[in-house]
């Protein structure tokens, strides 16, 4: 392997270059899958001049078998369950409900912290690009796509800087498009594609979302002529690709 991203934000700028403009005809929403997907999504949204927010998914782990998951929950009471795994392991419904209640409390805490006093975005009927850093497991991404689908967006694009073949295979038929910066290939450790793969902190996520919201407010306040000039300047910036 002779190329790496410096960090998640550089990966986001490289990923933004791969988006087909035809996919973004409407007012697309960029959603970063917390935690690692948010820095990537921030740069994609900034480069494409689109709104960005966070998508918080809390996975439901099997008691005494933390490596196994039986689904996930998202905001608004969205719950996605792996019924076949639950049945095969004989997990009582009451146990699932208790795990979901516990994770729902943490989900609400994280969303409130990440957004401060801002409201969550409208998703129904809107095109959405769900973005991760590539470090989440294939099953987590599949659960995230399933949870996002419950909100009935008009289109779902899954975008990741690095996309292992198993991820593409699992989610390709569940989304309208898959966008990636590095072509799919067998990868033993996706983290090796980052010089800095240290975890994205809750504080970093909160600050990026606040910066993005302030930038959009400032942009909307500009006269139309200045907004067009700003967009032209952004589009003329040289793309930041991979380090050689």
Ranges 41-55, 109-123, 143-157, 222-236: which has the least confidence: 222-236
Of residues 69, 137, 75, the one with CA closest to residue 110: 75
- Residue 135 has a pLDDT of 82
Residue 170 pLDDT level (bands cut at 50, 70, 90): confident
Residue 222 pLDDT = 55
According to the model, what pLDDT value does residue 237 have? 45
pLDDT above 60 (res 206): yes
pLDDT, the chain, mean: 85
pLDDT attached to residue 174: 87
CB 39 within 8 A of CB 200: yes
Which comes out higher in pLDDT, residue 63 or 157?
157
Q: Could you give the CA distance from residue 233 to residue 79 in angstroms, rounded to a whole number?
A: 43
Counts for the chain of helices (H) and strands (E), in that order: 8, 8
CATH 3.40.50.2020 is the classification of domain 8-235: yes
From the centroid of its chain, how far is CA 54? 7
Residue 1 has pLDDT above 60, yes or no: no
The stretch 189-206 carries a mean pLDDT of 90
Q: 219-231: per-residue pLDDT in tens?
A: 666 565 544 555 5
Q: What is the pTM of this model?
A: 0.85
**SS3 at position 6:** coil
CA–CA dist 33, 39 (Å, integer): 10
User: What tokens appear for 196 in the block?
Assistant: 């800095």
Buried b / exposed e over 12-42, threshold 16 CB at 10 Å, is: bbbbbeebeeebbeeebbbbbbbbbbbbbbb
Percent of the chain with pLDDT over 70: 83
Cα angle 194, 18, 146; round to 5: 80
């Amino acid at each position: 392997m002779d190329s790496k991203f410096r960090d998640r934000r550089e990966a986001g700028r490289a990923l933004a270059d791969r988006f087909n403009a035809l996919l973004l005809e409407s007012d697309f929403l960029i959603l970063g899958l917390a935690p690692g997907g948010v820095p990537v999504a921030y740069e994609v949204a900034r480069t494409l001049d689109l709104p960005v927010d966070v998508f918080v998914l809390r996975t439901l782990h099997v008691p005494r078998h933390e490596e196994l998951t039986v689904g996930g929950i998202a905001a608004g009471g969205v719950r996605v369950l792996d019924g076949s795994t639950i049945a095969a392991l004989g997990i009582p419904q009451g146990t699932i409900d208790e795990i979901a209640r516990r994770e729902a409390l943490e989900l609400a805490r994280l969303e409130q912290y990440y957004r401060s006093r801002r409201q969550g975005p409208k998703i129904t009927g809107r095109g959405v690009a769900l973005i991760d850093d590539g470090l989440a497991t294939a099953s987590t991404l599949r659960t995230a796509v399933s949870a996002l689908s419950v909100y009935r967006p008009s289109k779902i694009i899954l975008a990741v800087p690095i996309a292992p073949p198993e991820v593409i295979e699992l989610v390709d038929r569940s989304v309208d498009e898959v966008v990636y910066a590095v072509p799919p290939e067998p990868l033993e450790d996706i983290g090796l594609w980052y010089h800095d793969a240290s975890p994205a902190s809750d504080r970093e996520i909160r600050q990026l979302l606040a910066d993005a919201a302030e930038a959009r407010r400032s942009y909307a306040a500009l006269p139309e002529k200045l907004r067009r000039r700003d967009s032209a300047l952004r589009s003329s910036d040289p793309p930041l690709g991979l380090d050689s």
